[in-house]
Amino acid sequence: MNFGGTFVAPPKAGDLKVLGDLLELLRHPEKAREAVSELAEAANRNEKVLVVVREERQELERARAEHGKVLGRERAEHDAQLTREREQWKAEQAKRLAEIEIWEKRTGELLTKTERDSKAAAALKRDLEQKLARLHELAA
């Protein structure tokens, strides 16, 4: 539509229905009072529902915050437990490694002693064999 050179969009079908409903209400004041009463009751119910929804949302936020705190505490406790177990494991490994090093050192010492004793036994055996051979020569 064009009134005085300014373009105005034509009304939508829904707008026309609302206008028709308003005209109907104006023709029948009793229906208008009933409609207003119903709207007031609906608004009142909606307000009560909004109050409940807000309270539930606040409760949900409190529960989420508490849950976050609990998770944080549990995570910290779990991390601390893991750290203690890791430190205990490291201490046990260090102790085992020290024991292994002691055994390696002792094994090396025993091997050196065994080799020395083996050489001494071989020398004694040669000496005894030579003395035995000389005794056989003298006896013959």
In a domain, 2, yes or no: no
Mean pLDDT score across all residues of the chain = 91
- Whole-prediction pTM: 0.46
**Within a 10 A sphere around the Cβ of 31, how many other Cβ atoms?**
13
Q: What is the pLDDT of residues 15-64, one digit of tens each?
A: 788 888 888 888 888 888 888 899 999 999 999 999 999 999 999 999 99
Total count of domains within the chain: 1
Instruction: Write the DSSP assignment of 44-109 as a string of letters.
Output: HHHHHHHHHHHHHHHHHHHHHHHHHHHHHHHHHHHHHHHHHHHHHHHHHHHHHHHHHHHHHHHHHH
In a domain, 5, yes or no: no
In a domain, 6, yes or no: no
In a domain, 7, yes or no: no
In a domain, 87, yes or no: yes
Cα angle: 134, vertex 131, 111; to 5 degrees: 150
Q: Report d(CA 74, CA 5) in Å as an integer.
A: 72
In a domain, 3, yes or no: no
In a domain, 22, yes or no: yes
What is the domain range of residue 62?
Answer: 15-139
In a domain, 132, yes or no: yes
